[in-house]
C-alpha cells in the first residue's frame, strides 16, 4: 500500500487466485501487507518453508530441485501443467489478464489519483514516512466496528 494504489501487473490476476484461491487472493491484494514465510505456506503461496539460515536454505533448495528433476513422474506433472494451461487459455487468454492489469496500471500512471507518483518520488528520494500507514496502524481503528471496541482491518 505504500506505492500509492499501484495495481500491479505480471499476470498476478491469473496466477494468485489459482495459487491461493479467490478469497485469499482478494485478502492479500486488498490488505497488501507483508507476508512471512510461515503465513505464505499456510495460505498456499509457498509449497514449503525450510532452512535454518541462508546457506541451509540454499543447500535444501538444490536438493529439492534435483529431486524434482529426477522424479519418475516429472513428465506427467509437466504435462498436467501444460494441459491445465491450455484449458485456462481456452477459457480466458493470458492476453486478457494482461490487458486488464495494464488498464488499471494506465490509471495509476495517467489517471487523476496522484498517490502512485507521490509514493514513487518518496521512494526514489528516500523520504521517510511521516507516520505509520493506516493499514498498519491497527490501533487507530479500535472501536471502528460499530463501537464494539474491537480492532478491525480493511477488507477488500
Q: pTM to 2 decimals?
A: 0.70
- What local confidence, expressed as pLDDT, does residue 30 receive? 83
Q: Rounded to whole angstroms, how far apart are CA atoms 134 and 32?
A: 12
- What local confidence, expressed as pLDDT, does residue 101 receive? 93
- For residues 60 and 66, the answer to whether their CB atoms sit within 8 Å is no
- What local confidence, expressed as pLDDT, does residue 92 receive? 97
- What local confidence, expressed as pLDDT, does residue 93 receive? 97
Residue 90, burial from CB neighbour count under 10 angstroms (0-12, 13-18, 19+): exposed
Written in H, E and C, the secondary structure of 103-142 is HHHHHHHHCCCCHHHHHHHHHHCCCCCCCCCCCCCHHHHC
pLDDT tens across the length of the chain (156 residues): 567 778 888 899 999 999 999 999 999 888 878 889 999 999 999 999 999 999 999 999 999 999 999 999 999 999 999 999 999 999 999 999 999 999 999 998 999 888 888 888 988 998 887 777 666 777 766 555 544 444 444 444
Amino acid at each position: 500500500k505504500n506505492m500509492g494504489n499501484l495495481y500491479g501487473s505480471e499476470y498476478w490476476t491469473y496466477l494468485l487466485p489459482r495459487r491461493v484461491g479467490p478469497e485469499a487472493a482478494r485478502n492479500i491484494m486488498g490488505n497488501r501487507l507483508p507476508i512471512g514465510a510461515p503465513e505464505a505456506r499456510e495460505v498456499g503461496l509457498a509449497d514449503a518453508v525450510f532452512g535454518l539460515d541462508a546457506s541451509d536454505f540454499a543447500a535444501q533448495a538444490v536438493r529439492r530441485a534435483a529431486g524434482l528433476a529426477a522424479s519418475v513422474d516429472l513428465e506427467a506433472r509437466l504435462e498436467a501443467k501444460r494441459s491445465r494451461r491450455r484449458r485456462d487459455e481456452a477459457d480466458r487468454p493470458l492476453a486478457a489478464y494482461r490487458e486488464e492489469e495494464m488498464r488499471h496500471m494506465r490509471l495509476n500512471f495517467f489517471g487523476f489519483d496522484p498517490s502512485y507518483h507521490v509514493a514513487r518520488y518518496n521512494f526514489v528520494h528516500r523520504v521517510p514516512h511521516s507516520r505509520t500507514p493506516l493499514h498498519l496502524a491497527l490501533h487507530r481503528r479500535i472501536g471502528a466496528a460499530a463501537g464494539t471496541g474491537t480492532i478491525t482491518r480493511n477488507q477488500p
